[in-house]
């Protein structure tokens, strides 16, 4: 269609990539997507686990992310000096922690009992720590020449990544099967402290972090998208090794996992290795499904954060899940409103009115597997109020509901969608992430390429229809930072500030 006619070489390149993907599912249900890309003797992978913070309930928020951290702590054979003794120490530690937690969470805690049990817990913690070889798992990857060892958790899924030289394919099979065959939750209660510091860093000590958490909580009344991916502070400080174990056994079953491997690999040699290593993992029961559906929004919600930082304005509109047939219409809206210097937001707010220094959007907040919100934001220029950028954003959204977008805007959208996909193929890791992500969301990696067909079919009428339905006051949630003066620091002084 139009895009292919614009850029024949692009179309050929995309078609050839699609034909280079081999899909292989083990009998236990774990799916592998393999792409041979012998540009260099290296490969990259991503394992996507179909569990995110949306699968957490009350008291357990942040547990998906906490488990992600624990997946770096090793196994009975990696990270310990004596696993049998360590296992006993960990069991004693957990009993001591549960006793302490029971005392601490009573409605009327006895301070002496809490302190005694806390001391006992700390003793058991030190005893278990004596068996730990810290970060042995990561050390193996590092020594092998691995790069980009990392993982991430979103509202929708959990991902594990790194890249290795091509001769280390069996090491990959060993480590990545071992890690999910029998993870050991060593250093769990220290890692909880690490996650609390992560929360303080990202959410509590940054104005935008504070605002986004409030925005998200206001946006969803029923669906678990309303709680933060990192978790509430009280939950981070309360979930237990036992909780993490239950979470693991519920969600980390092979049928809930897909791994994409891209690089100098060959399906005929790697598939037997995958069978040997990943085939060890038992099938396990299918994970539960999520019942709660966010009801239609009947009231505009507004969040105002009085904060000692500069103004910021954002608003979200509820929209359907990524699998909805209108998804590409939203992507067209996104492209036309916010992609680049020719976008409508940029030209109106930044170029012509000069009331904002940037304006953009997030198409999938806080996730996209379930109905979520489309977020627009603007960073006001110095001295400009949130109200002015809000009005200007609303003018642009209103225009989408009344006037057709131009054919030029649609053509640009189609061409850029193709080029963006093409550019993403230049990287082993980029492609591995895209394939595993799409396969998790749609159940079929081919959607990564097929979505372009739907991109080609988006019309100006579609955009008006979707805009009219979406950009209404009752479907909206807004959040803004209103600046309050910070306490003025005393003039610089060399006097000691110690008490």
CA distance readout (Å), 109 to 120, 239, 362: 17, 18, 44
For 94, residues 6+ apart whose C-beta sits below 8 A from its C-beta are: 240, 241, 242
Return the number of the residue (301 or 369) whose C-beta is nearest another protein: 369
The mark string for 419-458 relative to another protein (x by CB under 8 A, - otherwise) is: xx-xx-xxx-------------------------------
Site for another protein in 360-419 (CB under 8 A): 379-382, 408, 411-412, 415-416, 418-419
Span from 27-35, 150-158, 244-252, 385-393 in contact with another protein (CB under 8 A): 150-158
Please tell me the distance from the alpha carbon of residue 471 to that of residue 50, in angstroms, as a whole number: 31
Q: In sequence order, what DSSP letters do the residues of 304-357 get, joined into one string?
A: EEEESS--EEEEEEEE--TTSTTHHHHHHHHHHHHSSTTSHHIIIIIIIS--EE
Q: Which is nearer to another protein, 296 or 486 (CB)?
A: 486
Residues in 239-298 at the binding interface with another protein, rule: CB under 8 A: 264, 266, 269, 272-273, 276-277, 280
Instruction: Write down the least CB distance from residue 244 to another protein, Å.
Output: 15
Q: Which of 59, 109, 145, 443 is in the footprint of another protein by CB under 8 A?
A: 145
CB of 248 to another protein, least distance (A): 16
Q: How far is the CB of 300 from another protein (least distance, A)?
A: 27
Residue closer to another protein by CB (options 271, 472) is 271
Number of residues in contact with another protein, rule: CB under 8 A? 121
Contacts of 474 (CB under 8 A, 6+ apart): 297, 298, 299, 300
DSSP state of 8: H
Query: How far is 314 from 366, CA to CA, in rounded Å?
Result: 14
Tell me the per-residue interface mask from 20 to 59 with another protein, x by CB under 8 A, - otherwise: ------------------xxxxx-----------------
Non-local CB neighbours of 64 within 8 Å, separated by 6+ positions: 51, 52, 53, 55, 56, 153, 158, 229, 247, 251
Q: Which residue has the tokens 């083990």?
A: 26
Shorter beta-carbon distance to another protein: residue 363 or 380:
380
- Stretch (H or E) spanning 129: helix 111-129
Coil, helix or strand at residue 56: coil
Measured in residues, the chain has a length of 499
Q: Cβ(456)–Cβ(417) under 8 Å?
A: no
**In the complex, least distance from residue 180 CB atom to another protein, rounded to whole angstroms:** 14
Rounded CA-CA distance 162/199 in Å is 24
Strand order in the sheet with 372-380: 301-307, 476-483, 312-319, 372-380, 356-365
Site pattern 56..75 for another protein (x: CB under 8 A):
---------x--xx--x---
Q: How far is the CB of 64 from another protein (least distance, A)?
A: 9
Q: Which of 29, 207, 245, 287 binds another protein (CB under 8 A)?
A: 207
Among 1, 105, 130, 201, binds another protein (CB under 8 A): 201
Choice between 147 and 321, CB closer to another protein: 147
Q: Which is nearer to another protein, 112 or 268 (CB)?
A: 268
- CB of 236 or CB of 476, closer to another protein: 236
Q: What residues from 324 to 343 belong to the interface with another protein (CB under 8 A)?
A: 339-342
Give me the residue label for tokens 């082993």. Answer: 428
Interface residue with another protein among 190, 246, 324, 468 (CB under 8 A) is 190
> What's the min distance (Å) between Cβ of 113 and another protein?
23
Stretch that binds another protein, among 7-15, 240-248, 391-399, 441-449 (CB under 8 A): 7-15
CA distance 254 to 26: 9
The residue among 291 and 488 lying less far from another protein, judged by its C-beta, is: 488
Q: Does 354 bind another protein (CB under 8 A)?
A: yes
Instruction: Find the binder of another protein among 19, 143, 291, 298 (CB under 8 A).
Output: 143
Residue number with CB closer to another protein (238 or 401): 238
Chain mean position to CA 226: 14
Q: Which is nearer to another protein, 456 or 472 (CB)?
A: 456
Q: Are 238 and 101 in contact (CB under 8 A)?
A: yes
| Nearer to another protein among residue 65 and residue 388 (C-beta) | 65
Q: Which is nearer to another protein, 136 or 332 (CB)?
A: 136
Strand partners of residue 314 = 377, 479
Of 427, 425, 431, 429, nearest in space to 148 by CA: 429
């Amino acid at each position: 269609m139009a895009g292919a006619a614009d850029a024949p070489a692009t179309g050929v390149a995309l078609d050839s990539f699609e034909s280079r993907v081999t899909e292989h599912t083990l009998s236990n249900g774990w799916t592998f997507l393999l792409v041979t890309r012998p540009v260099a003797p290296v490969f990259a992978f991503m394992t996507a686990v179909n569990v995110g913070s949306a699968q957490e309930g009350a008291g357990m928020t942040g547990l998906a992310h906490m488990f992600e951290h624990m997946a770096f702590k090793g196994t009975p054979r990696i990270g310990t000096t004596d696993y049998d003794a360590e296992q006993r120490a960990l069991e004693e530690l957990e009993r001591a922690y549960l006793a302490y937690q029971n005392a601490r969470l009573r409605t009327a805690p006895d301070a002496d009992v809490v302190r005694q049990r806390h001391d006992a817990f700390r003793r058991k913690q030190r005893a278990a720590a004596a068996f730990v070889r810290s970060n042995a798992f990561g050390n193996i990857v590092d020594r092998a020449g691995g790069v980009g060892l990392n993982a991430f958790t979103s509202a929708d899924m959990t991902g594990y990544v790194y890249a290795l030289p091509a001769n280390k394919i069996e090491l990959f099979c060993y480590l990545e099967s071992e890690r999910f065959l029998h993870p050991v939750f060593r250093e769990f209660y220290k890692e909880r402290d690490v996650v609390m510091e992560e929360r303080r860093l990202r959410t509590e000590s940054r104005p935008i972090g504070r605002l986004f958490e409030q925005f998200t909580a206001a946006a969803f009344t029923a669906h678990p998208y309303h709680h933060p991916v990192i978790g509430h502070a009280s939950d981070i400080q309360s979930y237990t090794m036992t909780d993490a174990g239950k979470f693991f056994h519920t969600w980390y079953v092979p049928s809930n996992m897909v791994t994409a491997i891209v690089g100098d690999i060959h399906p005929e040699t790697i598939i037997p290795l995958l069978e040997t290593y990943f085939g060890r993992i038992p099938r396990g029961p299918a994970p539960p499904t999520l019942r709660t559906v966010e009801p239609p929004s009947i009231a505009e919600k507004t969040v105002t954060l009085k904060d000692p930082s500069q103004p910021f304005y954002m608003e979200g509109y509820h929209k359907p899940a990524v699998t909805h047939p209108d998804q590409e219409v939203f992507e067209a809206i996104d492209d036309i409103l916010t992609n680049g210097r020719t976008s409508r937001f940029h030209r109106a707010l930044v170029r012509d009115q000069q009331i904002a220094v940037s304006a953009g959007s997030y198409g999938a907040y806080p996730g996209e597997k379930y109905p979520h919100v489309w977020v627009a934001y603007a960073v006001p220029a110095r001295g400009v109020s949130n109200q002015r950028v809000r009005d200007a954003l609303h003018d642009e959204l209103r225009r989408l509901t009344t006037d057709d977008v131009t054919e030029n805007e649609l053509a640009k959208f189609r061409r850029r969608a193709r080029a963006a996909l093409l550019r993403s193929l230049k990287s082993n890791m980029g492609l591995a992430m895209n394939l595993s992500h799409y396969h998790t969301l749609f159940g079929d990696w081919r959607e990564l390429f097929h979505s372009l067909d739907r991109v080609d079919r988006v019309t100006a009428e579609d955009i008006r229809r979707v805009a009219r339905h979406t950009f209404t006051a009752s479907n909206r949630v807004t959040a803004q930072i209103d600046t309050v003066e910070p306490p003025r620091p005393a003039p610089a002084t060399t006097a000691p500030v110690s008490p």
